[in-house]
Amino acid sequence: MNSNSLVTIADLTKEQILHILKQAQFFEEHPNHRILEGKVVATLFFEPSTRTRLSFETAANRLGARVIGFSDAGTTSSSKGETLKDTIKMVSNYVDLIVMRHYLEGAARYATEVTDTPIINAGDGSNQHPSQTILDLYSIFKTQGTLENLTITMVGDLKYGRTVHSLLMAMRHFNPTFRFVACDELRMPREYIEFCRNNNLSFTEHTDFSADVINSSDIIYMTRVQRERFTDILEYEKVKDLYNLCNSMLDNSRDNLRILHPLPRVNEISYDVDDNPKAYYFTQAKNGLYARQALICNALGIDILKNNSEYGR
Ligand code: CP
């Protein structure tokens, strides 16, 4: 196992997270920094993606690396029965870094156990999405000027949404107050509730996306109901449209409120929110490029700030 792999956000200390955010800031100011000439990055996506794959690939390209990989495992030998273990061992022969998304929880962890090539988990089932969390933290920091003492409201599919699971764990370093808004079927799983309790994180659970909740939030983190995780489509139909944020609901919200969403959105944010200055989800996705440039460097053991002292530690 390569110790630079990123499987879960819990792999990173507070200091490491803050240093990666500084690196992201550097890359936002210097996006074309070709320090990875001669390196090859593989993007192995066993599950669909737009933002994560394309931003990782853009990040690698802007750093001067070459990219190989696939966005549809159906075109690879896994469709002939090749195991994940064999696929990872093979690709490890070709590249310096593997970025992988898989539909099974634990797949990224398993991959780290069969190779010494660093692995970045780009989402494993409903478990974790740590690179999303780094861009979320970067977005929160940029919009709030701090990560400390914020009230963060997570809305929608808190059961299957891997982005909220990762973000919740990362925020343990920053004394948040959480509001979890979900129907009973999609509540925050028990293990994450226990995580909050064990880390003395303040939280309340709500089924109602009320004005009180909205108007006392610094961040509202909307999520899509993850249709692909349901075994019974009728269960999905029952809950898919329960929470919708529209512009009029923001009339009395805090000035510093920002609306985040990992995207893609389906129905949970009305299009009339898009022009509200508090809507931040498209810029959030753009921040993913800089965050992933920082994460690629981190996984390859490169500290871009070492030779750029004005950004130093
Ligand atoms: N946020 C996110 O993971 O988006 P994609 O599924 O498009 O990669």
DSSP 38-59: T-EEEEEESS--SHHHHHHHHH
Residues in the chain: 313
pLDDT, average across residues 181-202:
97
What atom in ligand 1 is closest to the CA of residue 123? Answer: 3
User: Does residue 52 have an active-site annotation?
Assistant: yes
DSSP letter assigned to residue 163: H
**49 C-beta closer than 6 A to ligand 1:** yes
> Is residue 29 assigned to a domain?
yes
User: Range with the lowest mean pLDDT among 119-133, 158-172, 298-312?
Assistant: 298-312
Are residues 224 and 129 in contact, defined by beta-carbon separation less than 8 angstroms?
no
Q: Are residues 79 and 47 in the same domain?
A: yes
Q: Supply the residue whose CA is at minimum distance from atom 7 of ligand 1.
A: 50
Same domain for 210 and 91: no
Q: What is the pLDDT of residue 29?
A: 96
Compute, in angstroms, the gap from residue 50 CA to the centroid of ligand 1.
6
Which residues, listed in sequence order, are joined to residue 69 by a DSSP beta bridge?
Answer: 43
22 catalytic, yes or no? no
pLDDT at 308: 77
Ligand 1 contact, 55 CB (< 6 A): no
- For the stretch 115-151, what's the b/e string if a residue is b when 16 or more beta carbons lie within 10 angstroms of its beta carbon? bebbbbbbbbbbbbbbbbbbbbbbbbbbbbeebeebb
Task: Express each pLDDT in 119-159 by its tens digit.
Answer: 999 999 999 999 999 999 999 999 999 999 999 999 999 99
Is 101 a known active-site residue?
yes
Per-residue pLDDT of 20-72, as tens digits, reads 999 999 999 999 999 999 999 999 999 999 999 999 999 999 999 999 999 99
Q: How far is the CA of 185 from the centre of ligand 1 (A)?
A: 23
Same domain, 199 and 105: no
Sheet holding 177-181, edge to edge: 202-206, 177-181, 151-155, 219-222, 258-260
Same domain, 136 and 257: yes
Residue 169 to residues 154, 240, 277: CA-CA distances in angstroms? 13, 25, 28
CA distance 124 to 55: 17
Question: Number of structural domains, the chain?
Answer: 2
**Residue 271 Cα to chain centre, angstroms:** 23
306 is known as an active-site residue: no
User: CB neighbours (10 Å) of residue 311?
Assistant: 15
Same structural domain, 79 and 157: no
Query: What tens digit of pLDDT does each residue of 69-100 get?
Result: 999 999 999 999 999 999 999 999 999 999 99
CA-closest residue to ligand 1 atom 6: 49
- Can you tell me the distance from the alpha carbon of 313 to that of 311, in angstroms, rounded to the nearest whole number? 7
Q: What pLDDT, on a 0 to 100 scale, did the predictor assign at position 309?
A: 63
21 and 85 in a single domain? The answer is yes
pLDDT value of position 164? 97
Query: In this structure, which residue's CA is closest to atom 3 in ligand 1?
Result: 52
Do 112 and 246 lie in one domain? The reply is no
Percent of the chain having pLDDT more than 90?
Answer: 94
Q: Which two tokens stand for residue 41?
A: 């990055």
Segment 282-301 mean pLDDT: 98
Residue 48 CA, closest ligand 1 atom number: 6
Q: Supply the mean pLDDT for the chain.
A: 96
- Ligand 1 pocket mutation, candidates 51, 57, 103, criterion most atoms within 8 A of CB: 51
- Ligand 1 atom 1, closest CA: 262
pLDDT at 312 over 60: no
- Which CATH number covers residue 255? 3.40.50.1370
**Domain of 79, in residue numbers:** 9-127+288-303
Residue 188 inside a domain? The answer is yes
Residue nearest to atom 5 of ligand 1 (CA): 49
If asked whether residues 36 and 171 sit together in one domain, one would say: no
Helix intervals (H) in the chain = 14-29, 51-62, 84-92, 107-113, 130-144, 162-170, 190-198, 211-215, 233-239, 281-299
* Integer Cα distance of 140 and 145 in angstroms: 8
- Identify the pLDDT of residue 313: 45
Specify the 3-state DSSP secondary structure of 135.
helix
Asked if residue 67 is part of any domain, the answer here is yes
Active-site entry in 39, 53, 62, 101: 101
Using the atom order of ligand 1, give the atom closest to the CA of residue 129: 3
Q: State the catalytic residue, choosing from 53, 62, 129, 159.
A: 129
Q: Is 308 in the pocket of ligand 1 (CB under 6 A)?
A: no
Ligand 1 geometric centre to CA of 32 (Å): 23
Q: How far is residue 175's CA from residue 199's CA, in Å, rounded to a whole number?
A: 10
Residue 211 domain-assigned?
yes
Range 104-116 average pLDDT: 97
Given pLDDT bands bounded at 50, 70 and 90, which one contains residue 310?
low
| Domain co-membership, 114 together with 237 | no
Cα separation, 228 vs 207, whole angstroms: 23
CA of 305 to the centre of ligand 1 (A): 28
Buried b (16+ CB within 10 A) or exposed e, 11-49: ebeeeebbbbbbbbbbbbeeeebeebeebbbbbbbbbeb
